[in-house]
């Protein structure tokens, strides 16, 4: 256990959190990801936007190997992702993910959702895992819902539980796959606020989102993807005020109208 | 009502509308009668027809089975028409006389306490597992799936070393055999069915092929055929001394048969689990086994609970087919007893069959009610 913590610490100090090199992916004949090259620095906060079908989510899902690829390499926290199950599990322990549809486990209470992976993957004693879960539920401001089932919660609350569940594994990197797209408008803010608070903690974040206000406020870099390619990467100010590529300009005009 | 302002195109509510009780035509006994029994002319006609049918059918049945029925007696004379009872009804005296045969069949009389102990131990384990708020249900599972089978085997078959005389299975019968076959069938078919269902969804082609072949073969063949094959064909291939006991062969046949059906039921439940559940589990670092055991199967089994119980009910009734291969289950004992010339009377057979029907109905209806109560419990907890 101590050995493992030391390893994680070493990796956390490494400069590069995620490195993607010459990545290509096909679904059958369809070329979804084309020549993706990206280095994400430790503690960096990245927002990926672009039209749907552009490969944003697929790229994000490659980073914890929910999707495989045909060409190229991905190195996460110094671990190269291959077919080797040990490496995949090691990366997944270090990378938390939040989904568009929350994907909470409906048969478990909020607290059990949060303690499941710490107990069964990290081998944490139940009591410690519950204390840890309560700490994170307090951070996402729903400790009072701990013993309810997810179906009893609003969408915004469910998504905050999903964030707490991912944080309970103490990840170095968090992936957010359109975390507010399935929410009613009045619940978007509570989830974004939670994510902003998380961003100030210095955790590495990759967020697929169309929340441009969030991108402006939090992102170190914004990535625009279209047709499976990275079209433009820039700091938020430059990205929004002076988009370079015509495709980026068109996209921004359409969503900021 | 009171708050519409003067401008017709805009409106601002001034006084909130409180909650009102529903109209009386929809509430209370009258409301219920009206909406359920007398809502339309067709409904009224149906209600009247049903009342007439009940009035026509129920009193004669009550008279035959309860009022005119013969409850005591030592032989057929009691159940025949006589001066004191010119029109005798059901012959319950016959059932009372034969009841211990129905339960134990040929199990030696001085050893029957062992069967009673088995029934007690089984009910205790079943109660422990099935009562949702029982303490330490994990221990209950260990008891039911590990301790109980060993105790039962030692008790029922005997273990001469500790003074329990051996009782060959050819002497077992009646309710004992029905319960043993049904319980073993259920306890084996659920895990085996789950394993088959998971194999059928496996990414490894050989595993998938084996599972599909087994399931489709068993489902394409009647249970009677499986039982015949188990009891007649198996001994042809296996040398006599390795050939398992007749009852064990039937147990294996029933369990494998039920497993194939259970596999299809569980597969339906697995298909109902959204992909996001698998992805969330994998993203948290859970491997295949834990993902299935902790996330997917608990949900899949909950979805399929009604179908699982349905399969169990079917299995319970199918146990009567072991009679075909010469094992005396409960129905077999009734069948044998009703041929007893000492009790030959016009209504002996009817009474025996009705008694058997009641037994199966109570068992199956009990299972069905239990499943419903668990479903209601789960949906109250909001786990849907």
> B204-252: per-residue pLDDT in tens?
999 999 999 999 999 899 999 988 888 887 777 777 776 678 888 889 8
Cβ within 8 Å of A, B 166-195: none
* Chain B residues with CB-CB distance to A152 below 8 A: 382
Q: Does residue A8 have a pLDDT over 60?
A: no
- pLDDT in the model for residue A40: 95
- Closest approach of B203 to chain A, Cα-based (Å): 15
Chain B: closest CA distance from residue A133 (Å): 14
Residues 57..116 of A with a Cβ closer than 8 Å to B: which?
64, 66, 85, 89, 92-93, 95-97, 99, 101, 103-107, 116
- The pTM is what? 0.82
Distance from CA of B198 to the nearest CA of A (A): 20
Q: Which residues of B touch A89 (CB under 8 A)?
A: 285, 287
Binary contact (B381, A149; C-beta < 8 A): yes
Is there a contact between B156 and B167 (Cβ–Cβ < 8 Å)?
yes
pLDDT tens readout for residues A100-133: 999 999 999 999 999 999 999 999 999 999 999 9
As a whole number of angstroms, the distance between CA A186 and CA A135 comes to 26
Would you call A181 an interface residue with chain B, using a CB distance cutoff of 8 Å? no
The per-residue pLDDT for B236 is: 78
Tokens of A128: 């410690």
Cβ–Cβ < 8 Å for A36, A230:
yes
Nearest chain B CA: its distance from A90 CA (Å): 8
Average pLDDT over residues B364-376: 90
* Local structure of residue B245 (DSSP, 8 states): P
Higher pLDDT, A232 or A8: A232
Phi, psi (degrees; rounded to nearest 5) at B241: -75, -15
Note the pLDDT of residue A48: 96
- The torsion angles phi and psi of A177, rounded to 5 degrees, stand at -105, 95
Rg (C-alpha) for chain A, rounded Å, is 18
Q: Is B279–A116 a contact, with Cβ atoms under 8 angstroms apart?
A: no
For the stretch A177-202, pLDDT in tens is 999 999 998 899 999 999 999 988 88
| Domain ranges within chain B, ordered by starting residue | 4-67, 97-383
Q: What confidence tens digit (pLDDT) does each residue in A212-253 have?
A: 999 999 999 999 999 999 999 999 999 999 999 999 999 999
Confidence grade of residue A13 (pLDDT, cut at 50, 70, 90): low
Report the distance separating Cα A192 and Cα A200, nearest Å. 13
Q: What is the mean pLDDT of residues A53-81?
A: 93
Say if residue B113's pLDDT is above 70: yes
B251-287 tens-digit pLDDT: 988 999 999 999 999 999 999 999 999 999 999 999 9
User: Can you tell me whether residue B11 is helix, strand or coil?
Assistant: coil
CA distance to partner chain B, nearest, from residue A185 (Å): 23
A210 CA to centre of own chain:
14
- Classify domain B97-383 by CATH number: 1.10.3720.10
Using the predicted structure, report yes or no on whether residue B5 has a pLDDT greater than 70. Answer: no
pLDDT category, B24, cuts 50, 70, 90? low
- Report pLDDT for B260: 95
Which chain B residues contact residue A99 at CB under 8 A? Answer: 276, 279-280, 283
**A169 — pLDDT class (breaks 50, 70, 90):** very high
Q: What pLDDT score does B381 carry?
A: 66
Is pLDDT above 80 for B6?
A: no
* Percent with pLDDT over 90 in chain B: 44
% of chain A surpassing 70 pLDDT: 94
Asked if A173 contacts A76 with a C-beta cutoff of 8 angstroms, the reply is: yes
Over residues B77-100, mean pLDDT: 85
B293 touches chain A (CB under 8 A): no
B112 has pLDDT over 60: yes
**Interchain pair B280, A120: CB under 8 A:** no
> Residue A4 has what pLDDT?
47
Over residues B283-312, mean pLDDT? 92
CB contact under 8 Å between A92 and B298, yes or no, is no
Under an 8 A CB cutoff, do B277 and A99 touch? Answer: no
């Amino acid at each position: 256990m101590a050995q493992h913590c030391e390893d994680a610490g070493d990796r956390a100090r490494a400069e590069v959190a995620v490195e993607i090199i010459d990545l290509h992916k096909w679904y059958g004949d369809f070329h979804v990801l084309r020549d993706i090259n990206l280095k994400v620095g430790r503690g960096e906060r990245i927002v990926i936007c672009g039209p749907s079908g552009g490969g944003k989510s697929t790229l994000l899902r490659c980073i914890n190997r929910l999707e495989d690829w045909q060409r190229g390499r991905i190195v996460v926290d110094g671990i190269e992702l291959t077919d080797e199950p040990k490496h995949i599990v090691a990366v997944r322990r270090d990378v938390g993910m939040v989904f568009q549809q929350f994907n909470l486990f409906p048969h478990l209470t909020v607290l059990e959702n949060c303690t499941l992976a710490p107990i069964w993957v990290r081998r944490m004693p139940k009591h410690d895992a519950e204390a840890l879960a309560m700490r994170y539920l307090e951070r996402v401001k729903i400790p009072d819902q701990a013993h309810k089932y997810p179906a009893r919660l609003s969408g915004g609350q469910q998504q905050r539980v999903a964030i707490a569940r991912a944080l309970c594994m103490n990840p170095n990197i968090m992936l957010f796959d359109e975390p507010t797209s399935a929410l009613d408008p009045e619940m978007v803010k509570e989830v974004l606020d939670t994510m902003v608070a998380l961003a100030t903690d210095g955790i590495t974040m990759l967020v697929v989102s169309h929340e441009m206000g969030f991108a402006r406020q939090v992102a170190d870099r914004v990535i625009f993807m279209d047709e499976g390619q990275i079209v433009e990467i820039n700091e938020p100010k430059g990205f929004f005020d002076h988009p370079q590529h015509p495709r980026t300009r068109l996209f921004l005009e359409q969503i900021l109208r | 009502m009171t708050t519409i302002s003067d401008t017709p195109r805009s409106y601002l509510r001034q006084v909130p509308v409180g909650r009102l009780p529903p109209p009386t035509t929809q509430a209370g006994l009258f409301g219920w009668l009206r909406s359920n029994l007398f809502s339309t002319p067709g409904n009224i006609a149906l209600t009247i027809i049903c009342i007439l049918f009940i009035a026509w059918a129920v009193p004669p049945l009550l008279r035959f089975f309860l009022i005119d029925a013969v409850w005591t007696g030592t032989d057929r004379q009691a159940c025949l028409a006589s001066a004191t009872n010119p029109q005798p009804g059901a012959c319950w005296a016959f059932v009372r006389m034969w009841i211990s045969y129905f339960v134990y069949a040929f199990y030696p009389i001085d050893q029957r306490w062992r069967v009673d102990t088995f029934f007690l131990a089984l009910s205790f384990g079943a109660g422990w597992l099935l009562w949702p708020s029982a303490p330490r249900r994990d221990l209950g599972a260990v008891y039911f799936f590990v301790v109980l089978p060993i105790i039962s085997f030692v008790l029922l078959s005997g273990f001469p070393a500790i003074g329990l005389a051996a009782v060959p299975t050819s002497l077992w019968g009646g309710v004992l055999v029905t319960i043993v076959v049904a319980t073993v069938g259920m306890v084996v078919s659920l895990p085996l069915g789950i394993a088959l269902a998971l194999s059928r969804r496996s990414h490894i082609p050989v595993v998938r092929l084996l599972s599909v072949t087994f399931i489709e073969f068993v489902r394409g063949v009647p249970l009677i055929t499986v039982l015949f094959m188990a009891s007649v064909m198996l001994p042809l291939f296996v040398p006599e001394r390795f050939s398992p006991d007749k009852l064990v062969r039937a147990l294996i046949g029933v369990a494998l048969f039920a497993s194939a059906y259970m596999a299809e039921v569980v597969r339906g439940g697995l298909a109902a689990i959204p992909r996001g559940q698998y992805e969330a589990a994998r993203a948290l670092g859970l491997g295949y086994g834990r993902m299935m055991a902790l996330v997917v199967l608990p949900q899949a089994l909950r979805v399929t609970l009604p179908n699982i119980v349905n399969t169990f009910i079917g299995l319970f009734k199918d146990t009567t087919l072991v009679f075909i291969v010469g094992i005396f289950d409960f129905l077999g004992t009734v069948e044998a007893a009703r041929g007893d010339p000492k009790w030959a009377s016009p209504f002996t057979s009817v009474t025996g069959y009705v008694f058997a029907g009641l037994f199966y109905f109570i068992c199956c209806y009990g299972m069905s009610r239990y499943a419903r109560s668990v479903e209601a419990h789960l949906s109250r907890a909001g786990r849907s």
